[in-house]
Amino acid sequence: MSPFATLLKREWLEHRAPFFWFQAAALGLLTVVAVLALLVTGFGEVEIHIQSEGLNAPPALSIDVWSDPEWQRYAATYRQLVTLPFFGIYLLAALFMLLGTLYDERKDRSVLFWKSLPVTDLETVLSKLVVALWIAPLILIVCVLFAQIIGLVILSVFVWSRDLGDAWQLWWRAGIPLGAFQLLLGFLIQSLWVLPVAAYLMLISVSVPRMALLWAVAVPVGAALLEFGAFGTRTIASFVSRHIEPAALPGFGDDDRIMPVVHTVGDQLALLANPDLWLGVLIGAGFAYAAAKVRGFNNEL
């Protein structure tokens, strides 16, 4: 096994609790809640009033009368709602990993042991970024797929028990394979999009003596205020705001976003032609290199 692969394995073993077990716990909790909801509303005594325009008209609540645009809208909303809790867990886990990993190894002085191994500081920094930005999202995608399939099973039982239409349409029109592909592609591109923020958090983690989260917020805020006071511009604030948005993830966002919400694979791929992405990659590479250099001499708190 190559040294870099060993570093990836080490990082995964150290951080598998938030990236795997917390996601698995969320999947289990959502499954239990969904089953309980089915037992209460699907087979209980809840009365649903259905209006029809005639004796031969389908029920107003029947899924058979939904148009193609309605199916697309409902399916996209379903996939997004299922993804949100797992995405929230991933965001928190990635934030505290990137902000704490190099800080913690200085605090407990384990950095002295890791530096005795035949790996460079740059390899160590890159391994942490790869786990946080590329490997951990794979666990999220798998959990989302399981959650979506379990949700479809429960919805199918509800539709069948209430005689609300052909339950097989839920599976045919849910767009699970396309949604999974868009999530995978989205996280591949999103990892490049947020690289400057992620590498900056690691630079803060390896540089400051304490209160890393406070420093991580104070430095860009202070720089943005100085820029605005001196030049009346908002370049730093705008750059940071853009690169903390889920720019490449389909359907994530609202009207207050700076970057437009992506809906299709074409929208996602278009980000690769955005100069702002590659400028961020260059800045992120600089931050990662700086973090490795600082790790080379800043070994203890």
Find out whether 79 and 174 touch, Cβ atoms under 8 Å.
yes
Q: Is 58 domain-assigned?
A: no
- Choose among 27, 250, 230, 19: nearest CA to 139: 19
Name the average pLDDT for the chain: 86
pLDDT (mean) for 144-161: 89
Q: Is 49 domain-assigned?
A: no
DSSP state of 20: I
Q: Which domain holds residue 120?
A: 3-38+68-297
277: its two tokens: 């992405």
Q: What is the pLDDT of residue 18?
A: 87
Q: Is 286 domain-assigned?
A: yes
Find out whether 50 and 59 touch, Cβ atoms under 8 Å.
yes
Q: Is 45 domain-assigned?
A: no
**Is the confidence at residue 259, as pLDDT, over 50?**
yes
Q: What is the pLDDT of residue 243?
A: 94
Q: Is 46 domain-assigned?
A: no
pLDDT digits (tens, 9 = 90+) for 28-86: 988 888 888 777 765 544 444 444 444 444 444 678 788 888 888 888 888 888 999 99
pTM for this prediction: 0.86
- As a whole number of angstroms, the distance between CA 151 and CA 174 comes to 11
Q: Is 52 domain-assigned?
A: no
- As a whole number of angstroms, the distance between CA 301 and CA 282 comes to 29
- Choose among 202, 198, 196, 149: nearest CA to 174: 149
Please state whether 196 falls in left (phi above 0), alpha (psi between -120 and 50) or beta.
alpha
Q: What is the total count of domains within the chain?
A: 1
pLDDT digits (tens, 9 = 90+) for 230-250: 999 999 999 999 999 999 998
Would you place residue 142 in the very low, low, confident or very high pLDDT band (cuts 50, 70, 90)? Answer: very high
pLDDT digits (tens, 9 = 90+) for 92-137: 999 999 998 888 788 777 766 666 777 888 999 999 999 999 999 9
Q: Is 173 domain-assigned?
A: yes
Q: Is 63 domain-assigned?
A: no
Q: What is the pLDDT of residue 234?
A: 93
Find out whether 106 and 299 touch, Cβ atoms under 8 Å.
yes
